[in-house]
Structure 1
Amino acid sequence: MPLRTARPAGRGGPRRFTRRDLAVLGVLLGIPVLLDIALIWGPTVASVALSFTSWDGIGDITWVGGRNYRTLFTDYPQFWPAVRNNLLWLGFLGLVATPFGLLLAVLIDQGVRFSRFYQSTLYMPVVLSLALVGFIAQLVFSRDQGALNAMLGHQDRPTDWLGDPGLNIWVVLLAAGWRHTGYVMVLYLAGLKAVDSSLKEAAAIDGASRTQTFFRVVLPTLRPVNVIVGAVTVIEALRAFDIVYAVNHGRNGLELLSVLVTDNIIGEASRIGFGSAIAVILLTVSLSFLVIHVLQELRRERRA
C-alpha cells in the first residue's frame, strides 16, 4: 500500500514522508555513516582488537593478551621518550603558541594599521603542510648550510640545531608553533568579531580598563571558541608526525608516538599488533584530554 503524500502545512496532521523521501534521506544519511564506519570506526575497533595479538600482516594472527602492553611499558626504551615529547608538544602549543595566537587576534581586532596584511601574513603558514614546514626548518636550521648559522656567523663552529637531541625538539616545536599560532589567531579573530560591541561599551562606561574588559567581558563570551581551540590543540599535539619525519624520521631526540606506530606497522619488521597497542595508547590519551576539556567547559557554562 503506497504511503500518503505530504500534506500542506496547516491542513491537519503531521507531514508524512513518501517512499521517495525516505529513499533520499537514506542515501544522504546512509552513505556518510557507512563511510565514517568504514574509514574511522572500523579501523579504530580493528586496532583495539589487533593490539592484543601478534601479527606481521601476512601470517596467522596469534592472540597474546596484554603482552604487547607489558612490553610497551617495561621493555621498549623508545616509548617513554616519545610520551615525554608528545606531552612537551602539547604543553608548548597550549601554553605558548595558543596564548600568542590569542594575543595577535586581540591586537588585530583593535584595528591596528595594515591589519589585513598582518592577518594574511600570519595565516600564511597554516596553508602549508607540516611536512613542508619540516623542510623549511631544515633550510633554516641545518648545521652546514642553514640560514640561521650563516646569519649568526657560526660557519667555523656551526651549531647542530637539528642533530643535537637537547636542541632539536625545541627547534621543531618552534616551527610547529609558528604554524599553529596563525590557525589559533584566525579562530579567535572570528570569535572576537562576533562579540557584541555593546558589552564593551557598557564595561567602559562602568570604568573598566581594556584589560579588565577583555578578561571579565570578552573572554567569557569566547568559551565556544575555547572548546574548539582546545580540541584542535590536543589533536595537533598528539597526532604530530609530518614535521619530525621530514627532519630525521622521528629519531635522535624527536621520537613521537605517531612515529612509533608507523615504524612498527610499516617498518622493516612489521609488528602490526605491537604498533596497534601504541595506537590505542595514543587514542586513549587523546580522548582523555578532549573529554576532560569539554566537560570542564560544559560545567562552566552551566554555572554561568
Structure 2
Amino acid sequence: MRIRRFDTRDRLVIAVLLGVAVVVDLAFIWGPAIASLALSFTAWNGVTDPSYVGVQNYDTIVNVYPPFWPAMRHNLLWLAFLGVVATPLGLFFAVLLDKQIRFTRLYQSALYLPVVLSLAIVGFIAQLVYSRDYGALNNILGRTSNPIDFLGDPSINIWAVLVAVGWRHTGYVMILYLAGLKAVDQSLKESAALDGASEAQTFFRVTFPTLRPVNIIVLVITVIEGLRAFDVVYAINRGRNGLELLSVLVTDNIIGEASRIGFGSAIAVILLLISLGFIVTYLVRTLREDR
C-alpha cells in the first residue's frame, strides 16, 4: 500500500486548523481559568491595582462567608440528583425507545423537547408551575385557598427546582444513550440470548459494558450540568432563600455591587477543582480497568 506524504500545503492547512483550535481553547478556556487562579490570591475591585493577599480569600470563604457551605451542599445535591435520578431515568427511556415500541418517534421528540429550551426558560416554566399565587401545581392539588409556597419555602424549593432541571437532563441523557444503543452489535445480543441469558442479563453483561464511551460523555456532562447550574435559580429568585449555588456566588461577587473580583475568582477556582476531581477520578479508574 502506497503511503501518502504530506506536502507543504497539507502541513500548512493542518497547522492553521489546529492552530485556530488551540488559540481559541487557550483564549476562552484555559486563559480565563489561569487568570481566575491568579486573581484568587488578590484583592481586586476591577478598578484599582490588585493587591496580593495570599490564601486570605480561601480562608474567608471556608470559615467566614455564610452562603458558601449552603451553596456547596446545594451543588452536591444537584449533582447527586442528576447522577442518581435523572441519568438512570434517561437510560431507562433510551432502552425502552430502542425496542422500537409504537409511537417511538413521538415519545422521543416529547422527551427531547426540553433539551432545546435554555435553562433560563426552564426557570420561567418552573415559576408558572410552582408559583404560590398563580402556579398550576397548586390548582391541580386543590390548594388554591391554602397554597404551598414551592419556591419561597427554603425547605422544599431546591427539590422543586431539581425536578424541573431533571426533566431537561433526562431528555439529554436519553438521546446520548439512544445513539449508543443503536451502535451496539446486535449479534452480541443474539449470542447472549442463545446462551440462555435473560433480557436483564444481556443488558447488564453485554450491552451496558459496550456503552463505556457514552458513559464517560454522560458523566462529564452530568458533572458540568450539576456544578455550573445557574440559569434556573437566577431566573426564579436570583439564587437566594434556599437556592444558593456556587455559580451564583461567583456572579454576585464579580459583577455584583461589591465587585470583589479576587474573592469571586477564589470561589470559581473551588468550583473548578470540584469539577476536575469528579471527572479525573472517573477517567483514571476507567483507564486502569481498560489496562
TM-score (norm 1): 0.93
CA RMSD of aligned residues (A): 1.3
User: Cα deviation per residue 1:8-55 (whole Å; 9 max; x = unaligned)?
Assistant: x95xx973532x444333322222211211111111111000000000
**CA deviation after TM superposition for structure 1 residue 300, in Å:** 2.4
* Alignment pair present for 1:247 and 2:236: yes
Alignment partners' CA distance in 2, 1:229 and 1:66: 34
* Alignment pair present for 1:296 and 2:275: no
Q: Look up the match of 2:87.
A: 98
Partner amino acid, structure 2, of 1:47: S
Secondary structure at 1:255 match in 2:
coil
Q: Look up the match of 1:31.
A: 20
Q: Look up the match of 1:155.
A: 144
Map 1:12-27 onto structure 2 (within 5 A). 15=5, 17-18=7-8, 20-27=9-16
Q: Look up the match of 1:42.
A: 31
TM-score (norm 2): 0.97
Alignment partners' CA distance in 2, 1:98 and 1:128: 18
Alignment partners' CA distance in 1, 2:129 and 2:169: 18
Alignment partners' CA distance in 2, 1:178 and 1:236: 13
Map 1:260-299 onto structure 2 (within 5 A). 260-299=249-288
- Find the partner of 1:168 among 138, 154, 157: 157
Map 1:226-241 onto structure 2 (within 5 A). 226-241=215-230
CA gap 1:223/1:53 in 2 versus in 1, 3 angstroms: same
Alignment partners' CA distance in 2, 1:37 and 1:218: 38
**CA deviation after TM superposition for structure 1 residue 99, in Å:** 0.4
CA gap 1:25/1:194 in 2 versus in 1, 3 angstroms: closer
Where do 5+ consecutive residues of structure 1 fail to align? 1-8
- CA radius of gyration, larger in: 1
**CA deviation after TM superposition for structure 1 residue 299, in Å:** 2.2
Partner amino acid, structure 2, of 1:41: W
Alignment partners' CA distance in 1, 2:83 and 2:6: 50
Q: Look up the match of 1:3.
A: none
Partner amino acid, structure 2, of 1:235: I
Partner amino acid, structure 2, of 1:182: G
* Alignment pair present for 1:67 and 2:53: no
Larger mean CA deviation between 271-280 and 207-216 belongs to 207-216
Q: Look up the match of 1:122.
A: 111
